[in-house]
Amino acid sequence: MVILYDRYNLPEDIYEVIFSTKQQEIVAKLLIKYMKENSSEIGKTEMSLFATQLHEGELIGEIDEPPYKGKKVKISYNKRQFYDRILTPMKSMGLIDYDLYSKKYRISNKFNKDMMRIGLMWLQEVQKPVYKLEKK
């Protein structure tokens, strides 16, 4: 997944930086909230139930967007798209970890560590010596 951002118009919300649509942001926020309510980890079965409830439109959540702010709303999102556009990217970016042995999903801080490592990679690139280009 590629994150493109404008440092002069950086949003306050991390979900706006990571996801491209409002619907994806809302679903990702609900997932993280659900995981936090379950001591920051859920099993494979709970993740499947969460995705099924989303798919069937049975999940009720609060949205902090202006037209719905403070109201409980039924939220619907396709199960396959949930796995493809929300969960898989969150796993690959290090926001969520999956332990194959215990079959648990956990909120992770690897994203933060990776961002710091990327910043250090840039500093190393800036400090590399200059090579002269040859002209013919």
Q: What number is the average pLDDT over the span 3-30?
A: 91
Domains of the chain: 7-108 (1.10.10.10)
Q: What is the predicted pLDDT for the residue at 73?
A: 87
Which pLDDT tens digit goes with each residue over 54-95? Answer: 999 999 888 777 777 878 889 999 999 999 999 999 999 999
In angstroms, the CA 20 to CA 29 distance is 14
Q: What number is the average pLDDT over the span 92-101?
A: 96
In angstroms, the CA 68 to CA 4 distance is 28
Q: Which pLDDT band, with edges at 50, 70 and 90, does 136 fall under?
A: confident
Q: What number is the average pLDDT over the span 20-26?
A: 91
Q: What is the predicted pLDDT for the residue at 43?
A: 96
